[in-house]
Structure formats: structure tokens, C-alpha cells
């Protein structure tokens, strides 16, 4: 075949590529030159919490126009995943009678919990295990119940903070610190392996700006990890380090007011209270992911400092 004809044939093959269903994982789709799962594998995980649909919006937009992504794909595979489809169908964070899937990715339950006691999220987490633990890069897209500017979540390594800054959003690190939950969440396995992995909170559920932020972070992450071509973004400047995780201590504990993420409390200011109990901050703190709807024993807020 003449060189010009070969180039036109190659270009045609590239532009007509489409996402194909993952061979083993329902609600996951693969884009690669061959249609197979070629390394390096970049995974974009969405709607692990079923009512956090901004990431699902972003991947559906990409799947509607696969030729645009295919034309920029540099190598390997991009895998788009609907994390918790049953919870999305029910319009819930997790399924009725279920549990938070984003606390299951240490997979300790496989040994500790009899399969008869598993709920949907246990089965779905296990189905996702090859992607969660075997990817070369992972982006997990979320949204929040309260108003929040978009921000990235990462471990404290310089490489992770640098990658998070490429989102153009605020950066929060230290999620791998003492008392945090990094080993249980989706990005924990890749963090432990020293591979690129971020979670990103894009804003409040269903807000138009949140949907836009999800599309932006999908594009920027794929560029930053070298999955697709594109100009890297000027890194963001606002960086915060988590220093505490606050678990809701009683059923009737309430935050002091309707906080937004990154609201500032000064030393001695009241964080929240219930009858006979009041919690204050000992030093300046910026509140991350305040969740008034949290149940007793669930995370109600995280505390961070600049830097």
C-alpha cells in the first residue's frame, strides 16, 4: 500500500474508533486502537456514590463523540466506568440496605465477611478490583451535598500534589495521614503503588458548574497523565493539608451552621454541638466536605490548614 493510502487508512481507523464494553466488567467501556485493553490503562471512575452524577455526565459526553478523544489518544487504553449503577438507578448515595462502596477498596471484607452477608456494593467492588488495583492511572470523580468549590484529593507526595495542581482546582493532600481512609477508597491501591491517582470533588450535586467542572477535570487529567495530547494547564496555587477527620459523635450532633467547604474557623470557634457536647477547633482550620446529613459514626467534616 502506498504511504499516502496507508496514512489515510490509519487516520480513518483512528477516527472511527468507538468505546466498546469491557469484556468482564459491566458498565465499563474501553477506548483503544485495537478495541482491547491495551496498557497503559487509564481509568476514569464515576458515580461510585450513585447520586453523584456529574462524572457520569462527563463520560457520557465523551462516549457520544469518541472520535474526538480517539484522534488525541497517544497510547494504551482509556476506560470509563459507572461505579455504582444500581445506586444511581435508586437515586441514592448507596443502594437501599447497602453500604458505602468507597470504603471497601482495601478488600478486607473478602476475608472477614461471609459472602452471604455481602450487599450489592461488596459484589460491585470485587468486580471492579482488576481496574482499581491494576490501572496505571486513576481519576475518581465525585460531587458533594453542600456547596463547594472544586478541589482535588491526593496523598502528600510531591508528585501527587503536582498532578493534582494540573486540575486547575484547589488541592487537598494528607488523605493518607494517620486516621484517614486512603487505604479504603478507590485511589488507595494506586497511591500505595506510587502510581498517579486522584479523586476530585467537582461541586454540589447537579449544579451546572459542577457538570462543567467534571468535564474539565476529565480532559485535564487525561492530558496530565499522558493518555491524550493537549497543552498542560497552569498549575493551581491553593494547597491545603488535612490534619483531622471528624466523625459524627452522636445522632443529634449538628454543625454550628451551614458551612461550605473551605469555610474558615479561628482558634476556639465552635464546630458543632449536641446536648451536653460542644466541639471547638484548637487552631485555625478550613473545613473540607462538611456533611450535615452524615449518620452517627460517619465522617461529618475534615479539617485542613494551608500548605
CATH code: domain 241-306 is 2.40.50
pLDDT surpassing 90 at residue 7 = no
Cis peptide before 40 (omega within 30 of 0): yes
CA distances to 44, 49, 89 from 120, rounded to whole Å, are 21, 13, 13
Measure the CA–CA gap between 261 and 17, rounded to whole angstroms. 40
Residues 151-158 have a mean pLDDT of 96
Domain ranges in the chain are: 11-224, 241-306
% of the chain at pLDDT higher than 90: 88
Reported as a pLDDT band with limits 50, 70 and 90, residue 16 is low
Average pLDDT, the chain: 93
HEC string of 108-169 equals: CHHHHCCHHHCCHHHHHHHHHHHHHHHCCEEEEEEEECCCCCCEEECCCCHHHHHHHHCCCC
**pLDDT number for residue 179:** 86
This prediction's pTM: 0.91
State the number of CA atoms in the 13 A half-sphere of 279 facing the CB.
19
The whole-number average pLDDT for the span 4-18 is 48
What is the sign of the dihedral through the CA atoms of 204, 206, 212 and 216? positive
Q: Which CATH class is domain 11-224?
A: alpha beta
160 vs 153: CA distance, rounded Å: 9
| Cα(63)–Cα(254) distance, integer angstroms | 42
The predicted pLDDT at position 237 comes to 77
Q: Which residues contact 21 (CB under 8 A, 6 or more apart)?
A: 28, 29, 30
Dihedral over alpha carbons 29, 31, 37, 41 (to 10 degrees): -100
Q: Is the pLDDT of residue 13 over 70?
A: no
Amino acid at each position: 500500500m502506498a504511504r499516502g493510502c496507508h496514512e489515510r487508512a490509519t487516520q480513518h481507523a483512528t477516527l472511527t474508533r468507538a468505546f466498546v464494553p469491557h469484556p468482564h466488567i459491566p458498565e465499563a467501556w474501553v477506548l483503544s486502537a485495537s478495541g482491547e485493553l491495551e496498557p497503559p490503562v487509564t481509568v476514569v471512575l464515576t458515580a461510585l456514590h450513585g447520586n453523584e452524577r456529574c462524572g457520569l455526565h462527563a463520560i457520557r459526553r465523551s462516549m457520544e463523540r469518541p472520535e474526538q478523544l480517539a484522534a488525541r489518544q497517544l497510547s494504551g487504553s482509556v476506560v470509563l466506568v459507572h461505579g455504582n449503577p444500581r445506586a444511581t438507578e435508586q437515586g441514592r448515595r448507596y443502594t437501599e440496605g447497602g453500604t458505602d462502596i468507597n470504603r471497601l477498596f482495601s478488600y478486607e471484607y473478602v476475608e472477614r465477611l461471609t459472602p452471604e452477608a455481602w450487599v450489592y456494593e461488596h459484589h460491585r467492588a470485587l468486580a471492579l478490583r482488576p481496574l482499581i488495583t491494576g490501572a496505571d492511572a486513576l481519576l475518581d470523580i465525585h460531587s458533594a451535598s453542600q456547596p463547594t468549590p472544586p478541589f482535588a484529593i491526593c496523598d502528600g507526595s510531591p508528585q501527587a500534589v503536582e498532578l493534582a495542581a494540573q486540575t486547575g482546582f484547589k488541592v487537598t493532600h494528607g488523605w493518607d495521614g494517620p486516621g484517614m481512609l486512603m487505604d479504603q477508597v478507590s485511589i488507595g491501591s494506586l497511591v500505595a503503588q506510587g502510581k498517579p491517582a486522584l479523586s476530585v470533588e467537582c461541586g454540589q450535586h447537579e449544579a451546572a458548574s459542577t457538570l462543567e467542572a467534571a468535564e474539565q477535570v476529565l480532559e485535564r487529567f487525561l492530558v496530565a497523565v499522558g493518555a491524550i495530547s493537549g497543552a498542560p494547564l497552569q498549575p493551581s496555587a491553593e494547597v491545603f493539608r488535612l490534619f483531622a477527620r471528624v466523625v459524627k459523635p452522636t445522632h443529634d450532633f449538628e454543625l454550628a451552621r451551614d458551612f461550605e467547604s473551605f469555610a474558615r474557623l479561628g482558634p476556639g470557634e465552635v464546630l458543632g454541638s449536641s446536648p451536653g457536647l460542644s466541639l471547638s477547633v484548637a487552631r485555625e482550620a478550613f473545613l473540607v466536605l462538611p456533611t450535615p446529613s452524615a449518620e452517627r459514626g460517619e465522617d461529618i467534616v475534615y479539617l485542613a490548614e494551608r500548605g
